[in-house]
Amino acid sequence: MKSVHRFICVVFCGILSLFLLPCLKCHAEDSMTVEAEIPVSCLSVDAPEGHIYRIMIEPRNSNSPAPKSDTLQISESGTGKFQIDITEPGAYDYLVYEQAGDDERIVYDSSVYHVTITVQTADQNKLAYTVTAYKNDETTKTGRLEFRNEVSANFVTDTTSTTLTTTVTTTETTTVTSATVTTVKKSGISTVFENITSIMTGDRMPVKLLLSIIVISAAVICFMLINKKHHED
């Protein structure tokens, strides 16, 4: 009877271990896995329309774990980050650079960043990491991974200013003042005074016709006076 109980206990423990061991293993792996991040910034491009950066990452050796994605597509003035799961302490090296596009207007940034992720064991048997980066062949660490594209000088748009000319038309106003004729009778002789005033340049008054009328009127008056005097004599 005891042997039967022992057999049942052994079978039960074996079945229980089949469920517990994978869970314990997963828990141990989770506690020893750190998700390292490499942030990237892409600066604005002075282009007629929006521009997309294509940023690449590649491990420098076989010991460096592959990132979750080896490509980031980031719009100008945008940011992104590469994510890498690391399960063991150590130093892991990567190259980060921009993949040049086929837009002839753009001069693509040719910078290459040498990035090292250093992973160490921290408290409670967890992993912690730090990121250091060097730009191109510089010996001074850089705090940011930034890419800046530029517009080719051959495609700089000229700005042309247009001057609008407004024509103002002034209508000339003609002012005509009347001409007055004054007849003075003295000693039987009629004298005609012409008082033509304020006739302005550009007036359309028929001056010649007016003078003709005055002369004819004076002649008629003289003729009438002479004829009247002849009858009196």
Cβ(144)–Cβ(131) under 8 Å? Answer: no
3-state DSSP of 117-165: EEEEECHHHCEEEEEEEEECCCCCECCCCEECCEECHHHCCCCCCCCCC
- By mean pLDDT, which of 71-85, 107-121, 168-182, 213-227 is the weakest? 168-182
Give residue limits of the domains in the chain. Answer: 33-155, 180-232
User: DSSP class of residue 183?
Assistant: E
CB half-sphere exposure, 220, CA atoms < 13 A: 7
- Over residues 64-117, the pLDDT tens digits come to 999 999 999 999 899 999 999 999 999 999 999 999 998 888 999 999 999 999
Please give the Cα distance from 180 to 166 (Å, whole number). 44
- Over residues 21-70, the pLDDT tens digits come to 454 444 444 558 999 999 999 998 887 677 899 999 999 999 999 999 99
| pLDDT higher at 124 or 190 | 124
- Over residues 104-157, the pLDDT tens digits come to 889 999 999 999 999 999 888 899 999 999 999 999 999 899 999 998 887 655
40-41-43 Cα angle (round to 5): 155
Options 1.20.1250.20, 3.50.50.60, 2.60.40.2130, 2.60.40.3050; CATH for 33-155 is 2.60.40.3050
Q: Binning pLDDT at 50, 70 and 90, where does residue 195 land?
A: very low
pTM value is: 0.55
Cβ(53)–Cβ(73) under 8 Å? Answer: yes
